[in-house]
């Protein structure tokens, strides 16, 4: 679950149509490298894996190393699967923060506007939390010329940050069925 927290962060957009102009793609796939830094303890955890995103509302984030785990997002909520422990847990959509990295890339633009001040400038999107209730302070997203994510930084109010480098991110032909998750037989469901 440590990376679930890492998914929760956002920032700024002055024009009403800015996000629609930025997120012009319907679905993406690729790999990622991410670094979770906890400045209170001086720890640093690196991981890598793959992702698939279908807008609006569907995504799969699969961590390969150091420990395998999977996150599967749908409009109903988020499945977290730990294949090593053989445990799957479901978190209903109402219990999730709308400001996660996975929600930002796959989600509801109107919900983002409610929670964040958003600004876009020359391939950089900043999302700044409107209130001080959530864990996320801001999110910075850097895009290539085709509005495909290249890099994301999420800063929390708890002195933790997540840096994600998107590798080989590309447009993909995905369907909802490609991203559905059914816990494997014999897995404990929490």
pLDDT digit string (tens) for 112-136? 777 788 888 878 888 888 877 778 8
Q: Region 30-36: what's the mean pLDDT?
A: 95
Determine if residue 168 is left, alpha or beta; phi over 0 gives left, psi from -120 to 50 gives alpha, anything else beta: left
Backbone angles phi, psi at 112, to 5 degrees: -65, -40
Query: Which residues 6+ apart lie within 8 Å of 182 measured at CB?
Result: none
Cβ–Cβ < 8 Å for 9, 103: no
| Whether pLDDT at 33 is above 50 | yes
**Higher-confidence position of 104 and 41:** 41
Chain segment 41-78, per-residue pLDDT in tens:
888 999 999 999 998 889 999 999 999 999 999 988 88
The percentage of the chain sitting over the pLDDT mark of 70, rounded to a whole number, equals: 81
Nearest to 163 by CA among 10, 37, 30, 71: 37
Helix (H) or strand (E) holding 151: strand 149-156
DSSP string, 23-50: ---SEEEEEEEEEEEETTTTEEEEEEEE
Strand partners, 71: 61, 80
- pLDDT reported for residue 49: 97
Distance of CA 77 to the CA centre of its chain: 13
Query: Which residues 6+ apart lie within 8 Å of 42 measured at CB?
Result: none
What are the chain's domains?
Answer: 2-172 (2.50.20.10)
Q: Region 91-110: what's the mean pLDDT?
A: 67
- pLDDT reported for residue 107: 66
């Amino acid at each position: 679950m440590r990376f679930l927290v890492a998914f929760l962060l956002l920032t700024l957009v002055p024009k009403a149509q800015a996000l629609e102009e930025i997120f012009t793609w319907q679905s993406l796939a690729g790999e990622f490298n991410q670094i979770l830094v906890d400045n209170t303890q001086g720890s640093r955890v690196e991981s890598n894996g793959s992702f698939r995103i279908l807008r609006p509302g569907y995504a799969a984030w699969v961590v390969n190393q150091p420990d395998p785990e999977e996150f599967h997002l749908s409009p109903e909520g988020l499945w977290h699967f730990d294949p090593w422990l053989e445990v799957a847990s479901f978190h209903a959509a109402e219990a999730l923060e709308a400001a996660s990295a996975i929600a930002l890339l796959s989600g509801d633009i109107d919900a983002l506007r409610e929670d964040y001040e958003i600004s876009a400038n020359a391939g950089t999107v900043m999302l700044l939390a409107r209130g001080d209730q959530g864990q996320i302070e801001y999110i910075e997203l850097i895009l290539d010329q085709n509005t495909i994510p290249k890099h994301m930084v999420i800063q929390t109010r708890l002195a933790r940050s997540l840096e994600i480098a998107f590798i080989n991110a590309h447009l993909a032909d995905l369907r909802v069925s490609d991203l559905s998750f059914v816990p494997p037989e014999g897995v404990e469901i929490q």
